[in-house]
Amino acid sequence: MTKPKVLISDKMDPNAARIFEERGCEVDVITGKSPEELMEYIGDYDGLAIRSSTRVTREILDAAKNLKVIGRAGIGVDNVDIQAASAQGVVVMNTPFGNSITTAEHAIAMIMALARQIPEANERTQKGEWPKSAFMGVEVTGKTLGLIGAGNIGSIVASRALGLRMKVVAYDPFLTQERAVEMGVEKADLDTLLERADFITLHTPLTDQTRNILSRENLAKTKKGVRIVNCARGGLVDEAALKELLESGHVAGAALDVFAEEPARESPLFGTPNFICTPHLGASTTEAQVNVALQVAEQMADYLVNGGVTNALNVPSLSAEEAPKLRPYMALSEKLGSLVGQLAHGNLDKISVEVEGAAAELNMKPITAAVLAGLMKHYSQSVNMVNAPHLAKERGMDVREIRHDREGVYHTLVRVTVATSQGDRSVAGTLFGNEAPRLIEIFGIGIEADLDGHMLYIVNEDAPGFIGRIGSLLGENGINIGTFHLGRRQAGGEAVLLLSLDAAIPEAVMKDACDLPGVKTVKPLTF
Ligand SMILES: NC(=O)c1ccc[n+]([C@@H]2O[C@H](COP(=O)([O-])OP(=O)(O)OC[C@H]3O[C@@H](n4cnc5c(N)ncnc54)[C@H](O)[C@@H]3O)[C@@H](O)[C@H]2O)c1
Ligand SMILES: O=C(O)CC[C@@H](O)C(=O)O
């Protein structure tokens, strides 16, 4: 088996390359290249490991013909076009916890640096000024910290701030009262936080809701003498308004690790009194960089080698333990989806996926994703398990998942039903020996078959002689039958034949098959 190839395109701790190699991947480290250069060779790689410098745009993704996974050694994925990646079936992963403590500590360091004006005092002291009377700081003890965003990093900042004997007031739409009590913070709305905080620290992602959350208008609502820290994302604070408020003295200090435009080689804020900054160093400690490098390499290699999905932002997580159990179900589900996609007519906009028996104990998301991929691959060439749920959603398909605790005749079962203009059409399958996907029912008729390769589906009136006639027709045309499966509703009623063939059936033979007496439907299938 050829080894998956991974490109590390940003500076990353060398442990990442080591882990990739140990886990069975080939790895190249090529950093500092332009997007045009990256486009030239990205087509060779199955995995792309990045930090924040590589911008993975739609154009890069178009050139990345073999790419299966993008791994961000860090949290923010603003440099990745996730929509385009999803559309191309590329999994995007990050490492959500590896640098949280480090970034929280940076925010606390910024708070302390602002409180005691350490950077400016340091600079002037080293110039020989000994400016003792120029600086008068403030204590943080007893002061109120306004926390905007109480997720991973925000909650660590809160715990450190409480240790410094600050009071913490938090604004986060997803913060429950119980969690606030558990964290030891007071839950507040944004206006209350703005009015009360002596220090404000931001820990949200940059979204349409958070962009400019500290706008000119909101900055004007803050207490005179407030100090502001942003170690989250540029674009959360109106930088021009911040400069004016620093100059007027309304804001006593501001510390930015992140800027709306990065790298920020110039900014109107540079040189403003009581303004300090760092060049996006929030995650830059040895510990955090080792953590995120190890984690991203472990996760990506697990996906490329075993199919395990962890911390993916565009596909349900699938642990390395789950992956081997789910893989045969995904194969079965993909085949059932594909069968329905080939047989059902008209709109396929209402689909239900039901599981029972052993299947009901599993994570259903990958099963549903596989059904959708199988179903839609007959309608779109670029569909796969990763992008199928997104495409289904985009197209407004109504997808239901139903889990039955009961166990029927089969110890495990997956059923796919589509609502068509002729009513519900359903197919079901099981796993033989927990491994081998097996069809057990088509449209209410019991029939056991492997769905594999070229097949022929025939519905006919159950009458003597039919099997001989179809066998002769195929034989006369040199088409070898591999397997032959038969099912019927009742004797003399409607019968279903599923044949596996060694080759695709030519159009003319199909026509002749349709003309055989008693035939209602003939359909070639491929799996
Ligand atoms: N400076 C750095 O180097 C650095 C390092 C790591 C992370 N970060 C950034 O820090 C930020 C926070 O990371 P995290 O790991 O804590 O993320 P997280 O997802 O754990 O937490 C984000 C929190 O923001 C909250 N939130 C979302 N929208 C909000 C809104 N409109 N108002 C208030 N709260 C809102 C969410 O509910 C969530 O609790 C991210 O933007 C991340 O990219 C920066
Ligand atoms: O990789 C970095 O240095 C920045 C990381 C940080 O912005 C993140 O979102 O994880």
Domain limits, CATH 3.30.1330.90, in the chain: 316-443
| Segments of the chain assigned to CATH 3.40.50.720 | 5-98+287-306, 100-277
C-alpha distances in Å from residue 281, one per residue of 12, 106, 361, 459: 14, 8, 44, 67
Question: CA 374 to CA 379: how far, in whole Å?
Answer: 10
Q: Compute CA distances 297 → 13, 69, 72, 75, 302, whole Å.
A: 11, 11, 10, 14, 8
State the distance from the centre of ligand 2 to the C-alpha of 53, rounded, in angstroms: 10
Q: Could you give the 3-state DSSP secondary structure of residue 428?
A: strand
The reply to whether 494 belongs to the active site is no
In angstroms, the CA 309 to CA 109 distance is: 35
Q: How many CA atoms lie within 13 A of 361 on its CB side?
A: 7
Residue 49 has which token pair?
């490991």
98 pocket-lining for ligand 2 (C-beta < 6 Å): no
Q: Kindly report the protein residue whose alpha carbon is nearest to atom 18 of ligand 1.
A: 151
Task: Taking each helix axis as running N to C, give the angle between helix 286-301 and helix 100-116, from 0 to 180 degrees, rounded to the nearest 10.
Answer: 160
Beta strands in 462-503 (DSSP E): 481-488, 494-501
The model's pTM: 0.76
Residue 485 corresponds to which tokens in the numbers above? 């499966």
DSSP helix/strand/coil, 92:
strand
Which H helix or E strand runs over 71? strand 69-72
What pLDDT does 1 receive?
Answer: 73
pLDDT of residue 176: 83
Distance CA 311, CA 291 (A): 14
Of all protein residues, the one whose alpha carbon is nearest to atom 8 of ligand 1 is 232
CATH class of 5-98+287-306: alpha beta
Task: State pLDDT tens for residues 76-89.
Answer: 999 999 989 988 88
Locate all alpha helices (DSSP H) within 56-117, ordered by sequence. Answer: 58-63, 82-87, 100-116
Question: For the structural domain made of 100-277, what CATH number should be given?
Answer: 3.40.50.720
Cα–Cα distance list, 296 to 51, 74, 219, 280, 418 (Å): 10, 8, 37, 20, 39
Active-site annotation holder among 23, 227, 280, 415: 280
Distance 321 CA to ligand 1 centre (A): 30
CA distance 520 to 490: 16
Secondary structure letter of residue 362 according to DSSP: S
**N residues, the chain:** 527
Which overall architecture, per CATH, does domain 451-527 show? 2-Layer Sandwich (3.30)
From the candidates 51, 203, 233, 390, give the one annotated as an active-site residue.
233
| Residue 120 neighbours by CB under 8 Å, 6+ apart | 135, 274, 276
Instruction: Check if 283 has its Cβ closer than 6 Å to any atom of ligand 2.
Output: yes
108's tokens: 């606390």
**How far does the centroid of ligand 2 lie from the alpha carbon of residue 7, in Å?**
19
CA dihedral 316, 319, 321, 323 (to 10 degrees): 40
Q: At what angle do helices 152-163 and 100-116 cross, to 10 degrees?
A: 50
Four-CA torsion 33, 39, 44, 49, nearest 10 degrees? 50
Distance 233 CA to ligand 2 centre (A): 9
CB neighbours (10 Å) of residue 395?
Answer: 12
Ligand 2 site, residue 52, Cβ cutoff 6 A: yes
SS3 496: strand
Rounded CA separation 242/477 (Å): 81
What pLDDT score does 382 carry? Answer: 64
C-beta 75 within 6 A of ligand 2: yes
pLDDT at residue 376, rounded to an integer: 87
Ligand 1 pocket test: pick from 10, 51, 52, 75 the residue with the most ligand atoms within 8 Å of its Cβ. 75
Contact between 519 and 513 (Cβ < 8 Å): yes
Give the distance (Å) from ligand 1 centre to CA of residue 231.
10
Ligand 1 near 171 CB (within 6 A): yes
Which ligand is the nearest neighbour of the Cα of 231? 1
Q: List the beta bridge partners of residue 47.
A: 6, 69
Tell me which residue has its CA closest to atom 15 in ligand 1: 152
All residue ranges of the chain with pLDDT < 50 are none
Residue nearest to atom 33 of ligand 1 (CA): 172
* Nearest atom in ligand 2 to 95's CA: 10
Indicate if ligand 1 lies below 6 Å from the C-beta of 148. Answer: yes
Contacts of residue 447, Cβ cutoff 8 Å, sequence gap at least 6? 439, 440, 441, 485, 486, 487, 496, 498
Mark whether 233 is an active-site residue.
yes
**Per the residue annotation, which of 21, 59, 195, 262 is the catalytic one?**
262
Residue 12, SS3 per DSSP: coil
Cα–Cα nearest to 318, from 356, 357, 355, 370: 370
Query: Relative to the alpha carbon of 205, which ligand is closest?
Result: 1
Q: What is the CATH number of domain 316-443?
A: 3.30.1330.90
- CATH 3.30.70.260 region(s) of the chain? 451-527
52 CA: nearest ligand 1 atom: 3
Beta strands in 360-442 (DSSP E): 398-404, 412-420, 423-432, 436-442
- Closest to 375 measured CA to CA, from 440, 326, 419: 419
* Cα 36 to averaged position of ligand 2 atoms, centre (Å): 23
C-alpha 40 – ligand 2 centre gap (Å): 26
Whole-angstrom Cα distance, residue 154 to residue 92?
24
Measured from the alpha carbon of residue 107, the closest ligand is 1
Q: How many CB atoms lie within 10 A of CB 122?
A: 11
Give the other-Cβ count within 10 Å of 434's Cβ.
12
